[in-house]
């Protein structure tokens, strides 16, 4: 077993167990301790992933490498958001997600199809697309938790254990719109660069991916505009976020799975 995989796995498991124990025992979660361990795990995760993606013949963004990279970005953005939002407790979800993504990337096998002679603009498009997908995935998960939290509060079931352990509703909602704004900006830039550098959509079999991405972009943009102009929030914001991400996932992961694993 690769040392980097073992080290990252142990740190992700340790953080998950520590935060889980703190939540159950109602103990304070020390941010520095948790984030420090996660940074160590992320470094090992990156060291494991780098030679699989950056190969002698070009960048290898197969399905399993992409899943692992997205899980690494997921954890990276969680750490960044944790620096200014009281959401360290959500590491109970972030660390296992990174562990699952890394494991899938490590054991999964897909055809080796490196991207050769790639321009800097196209590299930027790919990385920004992955970063945008990751942040919007986080937003979708956040929206799901927000929706459940609103339902529990509405039905006066605040005594349920998991609701008490979540950050406040205001913090959860503020974090959701932080994620939406960051993800929307990244997606906008990625789409703009893509239209400049991708020459033939039909030949590269990405028309459907582009259509679903644009539909998702319109929904996310409409939600942010509605929040700014009309104060959209709560259940409506959560639902639109989830629907928009489903469209993005169909265009991104769905098309990649069909092209690499079925065709």
Same-domain check for residues 57 and 135 = no
Mean pLDDT of the 54-64 span: 81
Same-domain check for residues 122 and 215 = yes
Mean pLDDT of the 126-147 span: 89
Q: Which residue carries 């339902």 as its tokens?
A: 151
Residue 59 host element (H or E) = strand 58-59
Confidence of residue 158 (pLDDT cuts 50, 70, 90): low
Same-domain check for residues 37 and 150 = no
Indicate if the pLDDT at residue 260 is higher than 60: no
* Residue scoring higher pLDDT (90 or 198): 90
Residue 144 host element (H or E) = helix 120-154
Which among 95, 117, 139 is the end of a domain?
117
Q: Give CA–CA dist 48/8, Å, rounded.
A: 9
pLDDT of residue 242: 95
pLDDT of residue 261: 45
pLDDT of residue 241: 95
Q: Give CA–CA dist 131/125, Å, rounded.
A: 10
Indicate if the pLDDT at residue 206 is higher than 60: yes
Residues comprising the chain, all counted: 263
pLDDT of residue 259: 46
Indicate if the pLDDT at residue 175 is higher than 50: yes
Indicate if the pLDDT at residue 33 is higher than 70: yes
Same-domain check for residues 247 and 129 = yes
The total of structural domains in the chain comes to 2
Nearest alpha carbon to residue 97 among 18, 160, 163, 42: 42
Mean pLDDT of the 230-259 span: 81
Same-domain check for residues 125 and 89 = no
Same-domain check for residues 197 and 209 = yes
Mean pLDDT of the 104-133 span: 80
Confidence of residue 205 (pLDDT cuts 50, 70, 90): low
Indicate if the pLDDT at residue 207 is higher than 80: no
Same-domain check for residues 32 and 135 = no
Mean pLDDT of the 13-18 span: 95
Range of the domain at 58: 1-117
Q: Give CA–CA dist 105/52, Å, rounded.
A: 9
Same-domain check for residues 132 and 98 = no
Same-domain check for residues 1 and 77 = yes
Which among 87, 117, 147 is the end of a domain?
117
Same-domain check for residues 213 and 245 = yes
Confidence of residue 16 (pLDDT cuts 50, 70, 90): very high
Mean pLDDT of the 159-172 span: 72
Both tokens of 33, joined, read 């301790």
Sign of the CA dihedral running 168, 171, 174, 180: negative
Same-domain check for residues 144 and 248 = yes
Which among 117, 136, 157 is the end of a domain?
117
pLDDT of residue 19: 92
Same-domain check for residues 27 and 140 = no
Indicate if the pLDDT at residue 1 is higher than 70: no
Indicate if the pLDDT at residue 41 is higher than 80: yes
pLDDT of residue 135: 92
């Amino acid at each position: 077993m690769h040392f980097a995989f073992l080290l990252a796995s142990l740190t992700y498991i340790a953080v998950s167990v520590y935060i889980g124990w703190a939540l159950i025992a109602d103990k304070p979660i020390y941010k520095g301790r948790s984030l420090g361990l996660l940074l160590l795990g992320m470094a090992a995760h990156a060291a494991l992933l780098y030679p699989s993606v950056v190969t002698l013949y070009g960048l290898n963004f197969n399905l399993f490498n992409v899943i692992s990279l997205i899980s690494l970005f997921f954890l990276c953005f969680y750490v960044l958001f944790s620096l200014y939002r009281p959401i360290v407790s959500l590491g109970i979800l972030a660390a296992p997600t990174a562990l699952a993504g890394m494991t899938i990337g490590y054991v999964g096998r897909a055809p080796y199809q490196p991207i050769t002679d790639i321009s800097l603009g196209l590299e930027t498009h790919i990385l920004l697309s992955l970063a945008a997908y990751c942040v919007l995935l986080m937003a979708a998960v956040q929206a799901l938790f927000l929706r459940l939290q609103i339902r529990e509060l509405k039905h006066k079931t605040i005594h349920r254990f998991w609701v008490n352990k979540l950050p406040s509703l205001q913090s959860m909602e503020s974090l959701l719109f932080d994620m939406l704004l960051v993800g929307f900006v990244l997606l906008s830039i990625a789409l703009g660069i893509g239209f400049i550098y991708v020459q033939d959509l039909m030949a590269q079999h990405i028309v459907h991916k582009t259509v679903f991405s644009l539909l998702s972009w319109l929904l996310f943009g409409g939600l942010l505009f509605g929040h700014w102009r009309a104060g959209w929030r709560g259940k409506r914001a959560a639902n639109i976020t989830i629907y928009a991400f489903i469209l993005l996932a169909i265009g991104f992961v769905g098309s990649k799975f069909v092209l690499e694993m079925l065709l």
